[in-house]
Amino acid sequence: MIRLVLNTDGGARGNPGPAAIGVVIKNHEGTVIKEIGKYIGEKTNNEAEYEAIIEGLSAALEKKASIVDCYLDSEFVVNQLKGVYKVKNERMQVLWEKTKSIEKKFKTVSYTHILRDKNKEADKIVNQVLDSLN
């Protein structure tokens, strides 16, 4: 069984505004095996957070992972994915359903909220993408 660690971040300059995602995938030894940075158009911060987790889980599938430990600095999105908060916004509902659909392809997926300073690698990727737009 392959276990991967996923750090994701999404951000928008303005809410909504130009948005990007950052994904860092590490193996069980902590070695970075893939990084993704991508501009995703005009989105809200929460939409960008979801887009990042969807991209990260999709990449983990490509790496044949069966267990994925996901770390996000968005407490709101983590609590929606854990079922603590209801998803009321229609656009967020679509992203939540897409995430849950991908999640079913793994044996186990966990979501953990971390502070922003513990998510520096993914955050840096988001900012590099957004800075490159200027």
Q: How long, in residues, is the chain?
A: 134
71-121 pLDDT tens trace: 999 999 999 999 999 999 999 999 999 999 999 999 999 999 999 999 999
Radius of gyration of the chain (CA): 14
Of 29, 115, 96, nearest in space to 57 by CA: 96
Q: Is the preceding peptide bond at 16 cis, omega within 30 degrees of 0?
A: yes
- Greater confidence, 11 or 15? 11
Count CB-CB contacts under 10 A for residue 92.
Answer: 18
Tell whether the model's pLDDT for residue 54 goes beyond 80.
yes
Q: Which domains does the chain have, with CATH numbers?
A: 3-131 (3.30.420.10)
- pLDDT, residue 69, reads 98
Structure tokens at 1: 């069984």
